[in-house]
Structure 1
Amino acid sequence: MRAIRVTVHAPDPLTADGILSTLAAQPEFLVEPGIESAPAEVRVVATDALTPDLLSLLRRVAGEDGAPVVLVVEKLEESQLLAAVECRVVAVLPRAAATGDRLVHGVRAAAAGGGVLPPAMLGELLKHVERMQRDLLAAKSVNAAGLSSREVDVLRLLADGWDTAEIAAQLCYSERTVKNVVFGLAQRLKLNSRTHAVAYALRAGMI
């Protein structure tokens, strides 16, 4: 069986030696010290906190070979979790709970393309993903011409000859909302009338 090459980075020799000896006891791992030892299939990084300098280092080495990272950390802020994931951190082990068995499990999971996160961190990461999905959907609702789906709907009905009251009833908006949409379009696109707005939209292929 081919050995999995694992590199270990820790802030002090005692921690580094402990992690190295734990992983070296497993015949499936070929372990080397140093975060930039190459090539690496999994990187184990132990730290008290995810500092900006360490994040920068992780980002750089992730760009080199994309090896997954097992992070053994004393404290990880929720705001740092997404940045850590972007740096290829796939497993997070709180230092107080980082037993030898859990460390080995984390490295095996990372090598197999999986990950290990404490439940609270997993929940926070899912929230981040949901927010990103919502932002992406919101961005997609604005077409290449810079019009929102609501503006396009109003323009299409204007092009069909509908008046303000009819558009409001059809789209379940107030008449004031429809007027504000049309006024906003006119101001932003420098249009001088509703007819001009419809003509502009047709020429640009927006409707």
Structure 2
Amino acid sequence: MDQVRVAAWASDPIALAGLIDHLQARPEVQVLPGPRRGEAAVLVFAAGRVTPELKAALRAAASETPAAIVLVAGYVDADELPELAACHVVAVLPREAIAGDRLVRSITAAASGKETSLRDLLGQAESLQHTAGGAALSPREVDVLRLMAEGWDTAEIAGKLCYSERTVKNVIYGMTNRLKLRNRPHAVAYALRAGVI
């Protein structure tokens, strides 16, 4: 089996390190360093949402190489799809895809030259919007929700996460108010349904 040559980009260095570590663990792909991305068959971009910075990076990559681009994002607006497709984006995946086989399947499909239509991208973006409930939660909120789901009280959560009790209460209040959740059990149930805990 030939390895697919891949280069990665992420909106922050920690996400980039995690993405590269995940890809390097897969025998199907060979991760190239950033300066060699022109040799890659597929580029993988990861971001929370489509920002001007991401668009600029996609345009720069598309001008450097004809490689197909797989975008992993928390949210993509359907109005942005034509611009993404013009930048060689052939697949739009949810962030959860990084942990499973779906990302590698998309990379191998992109490397084989499998055509993706704007309609396919629209379907992928719509599925992201349906699962965007999880994207509406910050990493801090997810950490608090995980501990709440395990039965920890406010003081225990604060101690475990090195936050003050006031911070934990503010996180819970902000999240439940923003998402119109009734109470803590409702917040935990929401996070479970969204697949974030």
How would you bin the TM-score normalised by the shorter chain?
Answer: 0.5 to 0.7
Verify the 8 A CA contact 1:35 1:43 in the aligned structure 2. Answer: no
Verify the 8 A CA contact 2:93 2:124 in the aligned structure 1. Answer: no
1:10 aligns with 2:43: no
CA distance in 2, matches of 1:123, 1:12: 23
Which of the pair has more CA radius of gyration?
1
CA distance in 2, matches of 1:88, 1:99: 23
1:32 aligns with 2:29: no
Q: CA RMSD in A?
A: 2.9
Measured against aligned partners, the alpha-carbon deviations of 1:110-133 in whole angstroms (never above 9, x if no partner) come to 1111267996823889xxxxxxxx
CA 1:118–1:19 in 2, change beyond 3 Å: closer, same or farther? Answer: farther
User: Percent identical across equivalent pairs?
Assistant: 39
Verify the 8 A CA contact 1:3 1:28 in the aligned structure 2. Answer: yes
CA distance in 2, matches of 1:123, 1:69: 14
Q: CA deviation at 1:92?
A: 0.6
CA 1:33–1:6 in 2, change beyond 3 Å: closer, same or farther? Answer: same
Verify the 8 A CA contact 1:91 1:115 in the aligned structure 2. Answer: no
Unaligned 5+ runs, structure 2: 127-197
Verify the 8 A CA contact 1:7 1:35 in the aligned structure 2. Answer: no
CA distance in 2, matches of 1:35, 1:121: 31
The one-letter amino acid paired with 1:121 is L
Unaligned 5+ runs, structure 1: 126-207
Task: Count the aligned residue pairs.
Answer: 125
Q: Which residue of 2 aligns with 1:121?
A: 122
Counterparts in 2 of 1:54-73, with a 5 A limit? 54-73=54-73
Q: CA deviation at 1:10?
A: 1.0
Counterparts in 2 of 1:74-85, with a 5 A limit? 74-85=74-85
Matched residue SS, 1:91: strand
Matched residue SS, 1:114: coil
Measured against aligned partners, the alpha-carbon deviations of 1:78-132 in whole angstroms (never above 9, x if no partner) come to 110111011000011021454321111111111111267996823889xxxxxxx
Verify the 8 A CA contact 2:19 2:98 in the aligned structure 1. Answer: no
Verify the 8 A CA contact 1:10 1:46 in the aligned structure 2. Answer: yes
Q: CA deviation at 1:21?
A: 2.1
TM-score (normalised: structure 2): 0.54
Verify the 8 A CA contact 1:71 1:93 in the aligned structure 2. Answer: yes
The one-letter amino acid paired with 1:104 is V
Verify the 8 A CA contact 1:45 1:72 in the aligned structure 2. Answer: yes
Matched residue SS, 1:15: helix
Q: Which residue of 1 aligns with 2:156?
A: none
The one-letter amino acid paired with 2:15 is T
Verify the 8 A CA contact 2:43 2:68 in the aligned structure 1. Answer: yes
Q: CA deviation at 1:38?
A: 2.9
Per chain length, whose mean CA-contact separation is higher, i.e. which structure has more relative contact order (CA < 8 Å, sep 6+)? 2
Counterparts in 2 of 1:149-168, with a 5 A limit? none
1:93 aligns with 2:79: no
CA distance in 2, matches of 1:74, 1:123: 12
